């Protein structure tokens, strides 16, 4: 894979252990300029240090994906620094392990806002640049929970948000095909990330037991599929969702 001369924005890549981090680093390994967008500016700056250690260029931008002004600032800074935005990875997300009966409206709205509305806000802002350039690759983070109705980690609001990402991605893919922009989603299953903090050992064993491969995915395994969808060579794949779940769900 070759991303030399390309610029990628990866949201939610400030975490020290996550899919966003490894996606940002892998894009850098393959030559991309990488904009790390995260609420955690210190974490984003740490990712940029790792990106630069790989010989690539990076930019850390503190970003709230639910805030349009914050996202507009992100796109302006990316264009000012690198001139183009060729790849967008909407990775920023949060979850909450809770039953619907115990869920408040505030809980529901918070999960929807970050995972689904945030994906819309960032995508719309970046689309303008991609449409002008007649080129773009957008990869959105969904989840196996969107397809099987949870059962991994997170409540019904998380499943709803991630299912919404799939519908949004497919509809958008139809709208932007004429601009040489592809829109795809990845649907990871159980992954070894920080989002699982607080889960009991018993629950984790049960999750792993439910995976036919009997292990969690690594973050690099997810990142590789994201990077593949972001390549020029994947230009005939759009509106697709890629399952990466060790066999726990098969379409």
Closest CA to 137 of 187, 181, 91: 181
Does residue 250 sit within a domain?
Answer: no
What does the pLDDT look like over 113-146, one tens digit per residue?
999 999 999 999 999 999 999 999 999 999 999 9
Residue 200 has a pLDDT of 63
Specify the DSSP class assigned to residue 38: E
Q: Is the pLDDT of residue 155 over 70?
A: yes
The overall pTM is greater than 0.85 = yes
Does residue 24 sit within a domain?
Answer: yes
Q: Please identify which of the residues 158, 179, 224, 236 carries the catalytic annotation.
A: 158
* 179 backbone dihedrals φ, ψ, rounded to 5°: -100, 10
The CB density around residue 97, as the number of other CB atoms within 10 Å, is: 14
170: containing domain: 7-243
How far is it, in rounded angstroms, from Cα 165 to Cα 149? 14
CA separation (Å) from 194 to 20, 40, 180, 197? 11, 14, 35, 6
Does residue 129 sit within a domain?
Answer: yes
Does residue 93 sit within a domain?
Answer: yes
CA separation (Å) from 153 to 39, 111, 163, 176? 22, 13, 15, 33
Residue 209 has a pLDDT of 76
Number of domains in the chain: 1
Q: Is 158 a catalytic residue?
A: yes
Does residue 218 sit within a domain?
Answer: yes
Closest CA to 119 of 76, 171, 80, 84: 171
pLDDT-derived band at 247 (thresholds 50, 70, 90) equals confident
**Is-contact 22 222, C-beta < 8 A?**
yes
Give the pLDDT mean for 20-48: 98
Give the pLDDT mean for 60-86: 98
Does residue 2 sit within a domain?
Answer: no
Does residue 12 sit within a domain?
Answer: yes
**Is-contact 51 22, C-beta < 8 A?**
no
What does the pLDDT look like over 156-185, one tens digit per residue?
999 999 999 999 999 999 999 999 999 999
Q: Is the pLDDT of residue 246 over 60?
A: yes
* 140 backbone dihedrals φ, ψ, rounded to 5°: -105, 145
What does the pLDDT look like over 190-218, one tens digit per residue?
777 765 555 667 766 777 777 777 788 89
Residue 72 has a pLDDT of 98
Residue 98 has a pLDDT of 94
Does residue 248 sit within a domain?
Answer: no
CATH number of the CATH domain containing 136? 3.40.50.720
Average pLDDT value for the chain: 93
């Amino acid at each position: 894979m070759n991303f030399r001369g390309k610029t990628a924005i990866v949201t939610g890549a400030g975490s020290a252990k996550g899919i966003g981090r490894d996606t940002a680093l892998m894009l850098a390994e393959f030559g991309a300029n990488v904009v790390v967008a995260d609420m955690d500016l210190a974490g984003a700056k740490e990712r940029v240090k790792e990106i630069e250690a790989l010989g690539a260029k990076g930019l850390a931008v503190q970003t709230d994906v639910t805030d349009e002004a914050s996202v507009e600032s992100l796109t302006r800074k990316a264009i000012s620094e690198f001139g183009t935005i060729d790849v967008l990875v909407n990775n920023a997300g949060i979850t909450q392990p809770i039953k619907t009966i115990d869920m408040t409206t505030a809980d529901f709205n918070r999960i929807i806002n970050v995972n689904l509305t945030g994906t819309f806000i960032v995508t719309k802002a970046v689309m303008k640049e991609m449409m002008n350039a007649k080129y773009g690759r957008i990869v959105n983070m969904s989840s196996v929970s969107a397809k099987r109705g949870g059962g991994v980690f997170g409540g019904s609001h998380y499943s709803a948000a991630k299912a919404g990402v799939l519908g949004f991605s497919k509809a958008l893919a139809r709208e932007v095909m004429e601009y040489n922009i592809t829109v795809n989603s990845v649907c990871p299953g159980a992954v070894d990330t920080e989002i699982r903090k607080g889960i009991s050992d018993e629950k984790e064993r049960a999750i792993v037991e439910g995976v036919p491969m009997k292990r969690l995915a690594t973050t690099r395994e997810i990142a590789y599929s994201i990077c593949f969808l972001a390549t020029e060579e994947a230009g005939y794949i759009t509106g697709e969702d890629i399952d990466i779940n060790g066999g726990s769900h098969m379409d």
